[in-house]
Homo-oligomer: A and B are copies of this chain.
């Protein structure tokens, strides 16, 4: 895959993509177009997961797995305790249909209000099966088929297929390099009369960047002016699953504080490192004009029902309060980051210094991430090539790997640097 240009041209996905997609779907006859498009957008990830050296050997004894953000140590005791306690039925309704239940909803509204210094009402919080479901909800709640959505590159590889499945058009806009800040000029250039949303992900996967208040304020100003210009409101989706995973007291600013037309999605799957037990939410910015805020509040229930009853399971809802203080060890995470950064940089790797998330992002020695990943894979060390992020010269490391995996892998990284 070639490095794509970070220009206005980027926002013509239809022409480019349709050619690509058409080639991939010639043999396909029964799938819907939106399913074919979603599957095609996910091809690189699926090929890596199923049909690469990683796909073949990731389960092997002694494998050092730095790929997906999956746990490689036993689950947190606080999580297991909370689930075990809340599984014991206390009334006949224990496992009845659950929606956004009043108790966890109120708890989250209060906790989030403290965290972001905004006044969330319980009705601003739509409880979901993880951030995936919250993002899917945002894409349907305020967007219609054909709307364009600006997403960052490099960025999470599920935005584009999720947009395609919702009949939306992903418009991929590059971050500024080499610092990976928001590129406001590129965003401005990508806005068209059909633009209806911009996705902001901070702390950012895969680079670990946390955007400053000044950057986000400039973006808010840009979106306000652009909305006026095109005569339609451009929403901001603030994808914040790594919000609590930050280093060195770097401050976090949510765009919801600066731009009223912001929806926040959050996942407990990162801080608990338990993505197999889905829990998250979509939150409406309390700064949204009151009529619009109430309109969204009143619609989340029926839209979530209509999307496939995307509310969290009963046990997860009962556990919300108990899980508030459960987290992976941030000091241990910072120590892993430092250990790897120091080692890799000492061997000549060019790495971004992450301010948050549990990822490291850097340039692959030799400039070909796929070849680099394959070289490591021979030694049972697995990293994610930047091709999954449309940046084929870079690679991503997930620090959810165990400390022991890191020690075993470091000599392999050292040898690969030569």
Contact = CB atoms under 8 A, between A and B. Distances in A.
Nearest to A95: B274
A72 B275 CA distance: 31
A276 interface: yes
Q: How large is the interface on A (under 10, 10 to 19, 20 to 34, 35 or more residues)?
A: 35 or more
A158 interface: yes
B308 A132 contact: yes
A1 B381 CA distance: 64
Contact of A302 (B46, B83, B93, B273): B46
B94 A133 contact: no
B309 A278 contact: yes
Interface in A293-311: 295-296, 298-299, 301-303, 305-310
A145 interface: yes
A131 B305 CA distance: 12
Interface stretch (A27-35, A177-185, A215-223): A27-35
A143 B276 CA distance: 29
Given A32-B141, A140-B165, A167-B145, A38 B302 contact: yes
Interface of A: 27-36, 38-39, 42, 46, 68, 70-75, 79-80, 83-84, 87-89, 91-98, 128-130, 132-137, 140-145, 158, 161-162, 164-165, 167, 233, 272-278, 291-292, 295-296, 298-299, 301-303, 305-310, 313-316, 402
Given A31-B141, A161-B306, A164-B306, 4 more contacts: A32-B140, A75-B95, A79-B95, A133-B310
